[in-house]
Amino acid sequence: MPGENRHQSRSNFNGHHMLDDYAIMEQQHKHQPTADHSEPVGNGSLQELYAQLVQKERDLLLAAQLGKALLEKNEELGLQNEKMAEEYSRQLEILEQEKHVLRRKVDNVEGEYESKVSELQSDIADLKRALDEQQNNVKMAERQKSSIITQLTEQNQRLTAQLKEAMKNEEQLTAQLQGLRDQFSLRKSSLQDHVGHLEIMREEIVMLTEKKTELERRLQHLLSEREGLTSNLDESSDRIMGLERQCHEQEVHLRETHRELNELRAANGSLCERLEAITRNLSSPSAPSFHHHSHSLLAEMDLSAASSGHGSASSPNSHPSLTGQDDIEIDDIECDDPQGEHSLVVEEQNQKMRQDIMDACVALRSLCETVRAQRRRASLSLSSMTSSNSGGGQNPSVGSNNSVLTESGDHSLPRLDGKQDTGLLNYLVKDIDHLVRGSAWFQLDFSQCDQCGRSPNDLLQLESELHLTQEAADRLQRNLADKTEESKRRNEEATSFKNQLTLKEVELEATREERDTARRDVRDTHLAKDEIIRRAWEVRDQAVARKNAAEIELARTRIDVLQINSQLLEAIQQKVELSQQLDQWQVDMQQLLDDQMKSKLSKQERLRSMASAGGATQQSAGTTAGSSTSPQQRKTKFLGLFQRS
């Protein structure tokens, strides 16, 4: 059926297609004459006839094609009708067959139903008969039951009387048997109790001896460990105390050097202030005082030259043209005074002042050259001494002094040619200040060495030793902490191993008991019931005995744990007391060092105050007052450093 429908739809499509082509050709034929009429009419009737013939041929072709399509369509429709008739007849036959099958099934079902109904009716009749018989049997059974109940009641009453008599006899026999059993159990229990007590006492004695030996061994081990730890602690404490003592001594030496350094700095500051006061007096505009100071500086220059054996002419930066006053050329100074009568007097005063200034400049320059020469020689001797002491190494302080000397020695002064007098005094004052500051640093290092009796290399060595001592103390503390942690870790590991061993022993003992129990059960399978009961009683007695022994062992273990805890608490208390004593010793030592330092500082302060009071002058009164207050402040700072928080 689906194939026929598809064939029918395809034939319908072809027919419709042919009709559409025919309609298109008709339209073209209708339009064709209009196109031919549009041409000029001069072609004649032949052309019209030819066109009509062509049109007729086209119509015939179209008609033939259309007829052919219609014939094919009719054939297809006929084939479709035949196929539809065949299909219809086939379906009718199938439906008839199904109807026949259904009728046969209905007949079979009706027959089965009738047979089942008849069977059920017969079963119902049988059941009714059986029910009647059962009711009759029940009635007979009830009658028999009532008769049996009456008989049993009579028999029960008779048996009850007999039972009462038997119970009375049994009570009498039971009382007699109980008396016999009591006598036998007393005799047997007394013997067994004695034997059991003896066994228990023996086991307890063995257990106590083993426990005692184990506890003695553990106690001996703990005592040896405690002695070792105590000796290690004492050694570490002694080493720490020695290192702390060395550290305190090094700190005391370092503080003394710092204190002496501060004192030297204060003295240097006072000297600098005095030198600045002298330079201010030199730079003041009063001619007489300046002339006086210039003569004093010249006298000092002569003395220094005589003591050193070298004159100012031997210095590398000296100028021979400035040794006398006759070689100095001075230009006249223009005067702006409008009054002509005083011009000569003012000119003479200016000439005299200029001459004095030039004399002072020459003297100061000579003094500077002399100081440079002396410092250069001192620096060379110091560098040679330092190189011989340190094996070729150079001290940083000496290097700094040499750099200061080099800077001051290489500093060149302008030539006094009589044309550069403007700002010359300021230039010389700056040069002198530079020399004074360099000499202050130079004197500081040497005064430090003279006061403390140690060289800068010794001070550096002391500082390095102090640093190494502190590092060694820290290293020992870290090692002590590591050893303590390691001992704790080993104790914990030993405890864990002991616990594991105890658990393994308990598990092994339980496994052995299970094995023995299984073996006994295998052996007892062929025994009699009384023997099995007796064995069970023995097992129960053994379990009770083990339970009692375990309770006793647990109580003893608790007592041992309490004793060990008390010993541990005593050891901890002793350790705390030792640490407190150690702290007290450290506090006492620190207090002793503080007292010694205070007494030493007070003595030095009294000596310094006496020396400063004996050598004080009127010009340095303010400087001495400032220097006397500064050591007091330094003293308080040093005391504050030694105080414990």
Q: What is the pLDDT of residues 401-448, one digit of tens each?
A: 444 444 444 444 444 444 444 455 556 666 665 665 555 444 444 444
Q: State which of 197, 226, 255 marks the end of a domain.
A: 226
Comparing CA positions, the residue from 442, 434, 438, 320 lying closest to residue 383 is 442
Assess if residue 252 is contained within a domain.
Answer: no
Name the phi and psi angles at 278, rounded to 5: -65, -45
pLDDT grade for 228, boundaries at 50, 70 and 90: confident
Question: Is the residue at 489 inside a domain?
Answer: no
Contact criterion met (CB below 8 Å) for 252 and 597: yes
Asked whether the predicted pLDDT for residue 563 surpasses 80, the reply is yes
Q: What is the full DSSP assignment across 125-185? A: HHHHHHHHHHHHHHHHHHHHHHHHHHHHHHHHHHHHHHHHHHHHHHHHHHHHHHHHHHHHH
- Minimum mean pLDDT range among 49-58, 144-153, 345-354: 345-354
Q: Which of 602, 607, 629, 611 is nearest to 269 (CA)?
A: 629
Residue 601 has pLDDT above 80, yes or no: yes
Classify residue 429 by burial, with Cβ atoms within 10 Å: 0-12, 13-18, 19+: middle
**Interior/surface letters 285-300, b for 16+ CB within 10 angstroms, e for the rest:** eeeeebeebbeebbee
With contact defined as beta carbons under 8 Å apart, do 616 and 624 qualify?
yes
Asked if the structure places residue 218 within a domain, the reply is yes
Over range 315-327, report the average pLDDT: 37
% of the chain exceeding 90 in pLDDT: 1
Asked if residue 542 belongs to a domain, the reply is no
DSSP 3-state helix, strand, coil percentages of the chain (rounded to 5)? 90, 0, 10
Within 10 angstroms of residue 438's Cβ, the number of other Cβ atoms is 23
Place of tokens 């928080």: 645
Which of 469-473, 500-504, 531-535 has the lowest average pLDDT?
469-473
Nearest by Cα to 273 from 147, 403, 437? 437
Q: Is residue 361 one of the residues assigned to a domain?
A: no
Q: Nearest-CA neighbor of 402 among 370, 377, 365, 369?
A: 377
What pLDDT, on the 0 to 100 scale, is given for residue 414? 46
**4-13, 24-33, 608-617: lowest mean pLDDT where?**
4-13
Asked whether 333 and 354 are in contact (CB, 8 A), the reply is yes
pLDDT of residue 375: 65
State the amino acid at position 11 in one-letter form. S
- The rounded distance, in Å, linking the Cα atoms of 424 and 368 is 14
Query: Which domain does 605 fall in, by range?
Result: 548-645
Residue 579 to residue 601: CA distance in whole angstroms: 32
Q: Classify residue 118: in a domain, yes or no.
A: yes
CA distances from 82 to 79, 87, 638 (A): 5, 9, 138
**Does the predicted TM-score (pTM) go above 0.85?**
no
Contact 378, 445 (CB under 8 A): no
Domain boundary among 226, 242, 271: 226
Number of C-beta neighbours around residue 536 at 10 A: 11
Considering 169, 201, 226, which residue would you say is the last residue of a domain? 226
Given this model, what pLDDT does residue 497 score?
76
Grade residue 25 by pLDDT with cuts at 50, 70 and 90. low
Span 179-219, pLDDT tens digits: 877 877 777 776 677 677 677 777 877 887 787 788 788 87
DSSP assignment letter at 323 = S
Q: DSSP character for 480?
A: H
Total domain count for the chain?
A: 2
Q: Which has more pLDDT, 51 or 608?
A: 51
Q: Is residue 220 part of a domain?
A: yes
Q: Which residues contact 222 (CB under 8 A, 6 or more apart)?
A: 567
pLDDT for the residue 269: 76
Per-chain mean pLDDT for the chain: 69
Residue 469 included in any domain = no
Per-residue pLDDT tens digits for 369-392 = 777 776 676 666 555 555 554 444
pLDDT of residue 257: 75
